[in-house]
Amino acid sequence: MAIKLLLVCLGNICRSPTAHAVMRQKAGHSGLQIEIESAGTSASHRGAPPDSRSVREGVAAGYDFGSIVSRPVSDSDFAYYDLILAMDKDNLAELKRRCPAELQHKLQLFMQYHPSYPTYSEVPDPYYGGSKGFAVVLQLIEQGCDGLLEQLKLTEKV
Ligand code: 4NP
């Protein structure tokens, strides 16, 4: 049975769509069965495609952002998904605030799977910064996705 993975940031236009695109490509190559989706704790970009700066960075590295559209986290996500990974602590706190007590164990920081955790525990919000921030985001996400895939293989959750 496939594990269901939800990747969450604030707007669902920069970090979590990048993680969505990277993870679905890496998961496809790994042979693991993972259902991957992304969402935002804010609804302010609902229906928008990923930010062009994220797409430029990701496409240059060979990732496909097709069909990814911003949508807010919904209450039903907490029951549906097996693992819900937040890009930073603010978004994790917001998920914890909204998630029923018996489902809180599904919530984690994405960076928990990165080799530099806990020295680096957040994927920084690149939205108001320059292009270097988007390059940093992509690199953290690629390394975090590799760590996550290794962990999923080890725990045979898939
Ligand atoms: P994301 O980045 O959470 O990685 O999608 C942001 C997108 C939009 C805004 C902030 C961060 N915003 O303030 O509109």
* Helix or strand run (H / E) with residue 55: helix 52-60
For ligand 1, atom 3, name the residue with the nearest CA.
10
Give pLDDT, residue 7: 99
Which ligand 1 atom is nearest residue 10's CA?
3
The domains located in the chain, with CATH, are 3-157 (3.40.50.2300)
For ligand 1, atom 9, name the residue with the nearest CA.
11
Terminus-to-terminus CA distance in the chain, angstroms? 6
User: Which residues in the chain belong to E strands, given as ranges?
Assistant: 3-9, 34-40, 83-86, 107-109
**Pick the catalytic residue: 14, 99, 125, 145?**
125
Answer yes or no: 15 catalytic: yes
Cα 31 to ligand 1 centre (Å): 32
Look at strands 34-40 and 83-86 and give their pairing.
unpaired
Give pLDDT, residue 82: 98
CA distance 40 to 12: 4
Give pLDDT, residue 158: 45
Q: How far is CA 135 from CA 11, 75, 82, 126, 140, in A?
A: 18, 32, 29, 9, 9
Give pLDDT, residue 156: 67
Of 12, 14, 70, 95, best ligand 1 pocket probe by most atoms within 8 Å of the beta carbon: 14
Which residue ranges of the chain lie beneath pLDDT 50?
158
On whether the CB atoms of residues 80 and 106 are closer than 8 A, the answer is no
Using CB distances shorter than 6 Å, the residues near ligand 1 are: 9-15, 44, 125, 127
